Amino acid sequence: MSEELDISKFEKKIIVRNIRHSDIEDIIKLSTACFPNMDPWKRSHIMSHLEVFPEGQFCVEFDGEIIGSCSSLIINFDEYDDQHTWDEITDEGYITNHDDEGYNLYGIEVAVHPDFRRMKIGRRLYEARKELAREMNLKSMIIGGRIPNYRKYAAELTPRQYVDEVMSHNIYDPVLTFQVMNAFTLKRVNRNYLTDDHASMKYATLMEWNNVDYRPTTKRHFKTALPVRICAIQYMMKKINSFEEFAQQCEYYADVGASYTSDFVVFPEIFTTQLLSFMDEKSPSRAIRRLTEYTEEYINLFTDLAIKYNVNIIGGSHFVEEEGKIYNIAYLFRRDGTIEKQYKIHITPNERKFWGIHGGDKVEVFDTDCGKIAIQICYDIEFPELGRIATEKGANIIFTPFCTDERQGYLRVRYCAQARAVENQIYTMIAGTVGNLTHVENMDIQYAQSGIFTPSDFAFPRDGIVGECHPNIETVVVGDVDLELLRRQRKSGNVTQWRDRRKDLYKVNYDC
């Protein structure tokens, strides 16, 4: 009697799933194989896709090998010109213009390895996109489709005539024929769509699949305003006798911010050095290492305050020791109890000389219940590249805790924060320390005038200032910034600096 046949050895598993970070190199190789005469994806492109809209990135895995992939974003298609290009619709492939409140899923690439074509791999990817559109209740899926066989007919047919012939099944085109068979309808033909698509002579068909299950809902309405309230603490540095006294002052200000129903309460840079006022330590470098011993108490304190007062707190910044090195770190304490951190990237000569501080190497952008935000500690706001990177990653507000000892240093922070607001069309704010610590080496005097800043256009306050403190007194400034107004002004303001960047001439490369 023969043994039962083990059919498992004949199985070949094919899986459609979302792309993961571990797939990036395989996706780049796939892109190169599929489009040998075109620019493949860069690692930075795919990293951006996974950060901005991971749900819209799919791949097909066959026996452990990735043989197909597709990328998508959500847009409100009515906000784009009929004759848009691929670069415009994808922000040059980085999809940082993805709009969670949009109505349309836009497909920007489908790639199927040449060795695995005619296995319905493309159909599987399109079905995954359609299912995503249904799940997210989007009105339609739109694609700008290549017409790679057009080069063979360009001498005798116009692009529109060629498209008509393909749709009448008189000519076969590997992309357009496939899209027609997948229930897409033609909207128009776009010229100069993809500059390196020489096979299509730079033309593309704009195709649409309508989601018949789409249900208009009340959540999708035009917002007249999306306000976010910010409370900046201009914190007085003065001698204290214990950590409990420090905690009492911090809770007082958390309570103040909450009493104004603030969404964010922001403390200044290294204001925890106030703890040094009750330590008997004359050496600045040794004093800072002693200060790091309070890190856990500091984190527990602000985590509890954020939850207790139902407010997101940017806990200024604090010196933290990690693997023998001291870093200047700003923590975001969300009101749901979760925590994030941003390392100060650029270290001032004074920090390096007296305290031996090391710089971080990553620009973080954090999701909050009030949209995406970034934190740039003091000196970092003076480097415009960081503002560009944070905005490209979706930040609408940059918070800058700072600590400066005299007016020139303060003005560097202020002027640069206002410049970042103008050039990136975002909101910025600064929160600084005042007073003095006469008992602490290298932390004697403070100068600050905290404020909340906007872009400069008619829709915003006249001087680009939501509010500011009087200089050098202990107080707070509370103000509202409107994220919906910001979104509209980026699209149709008197000037549109963010949209009008000459990315064909210059760009910021960021490797992390």
Q: What share of the chain is helix, strand, coil (3-state, %, to 5)?
A: 35, 25, 40
Active-site annotation holder among 59, 231, 378, 403: 378
What is the rounded CA–CA span in Å between residue 249 and residue 267? 11
Active-site annotation holder among 344, 351, 364, 392: 344
Active site residue 370: no
Q: 409: part of which helix (H) or strand (E)?
A: helix 407-424
What is the rounded CA–CA span in Å between residue 454 and residue 425? 8
203 contacts 177 by C-beta, under 8 angstroms: no
Active-site annotation holder among 59, 109, 250, 269: 269
* Length of the chain measured in residues: 512
Tell me the three-class secondary structure of 342-363, residue by residue.
Answer: EECCCCCHHHHHHHCEECCCCC
Q: Residue 413: which region, alpha, beta or left (left: phi > 0; alpha: psi -120 to 50)?
A: alpha
Active site residue 70: no
Q: For residue 480, what are its two tokens?
A: 């509202």
377 contacts 330 by C-beta, under 8 angstroms: yes
What is the rounded CA–CA span in Å between residue 458 and residue 350? 40
Which of helix, strand or coil describes residue 82? coil
Active site residue 231: no
450 contacts 401 by C-beta, under 8 angstroms: no
Hey, which residues are catalytic here? 269, 344, 378
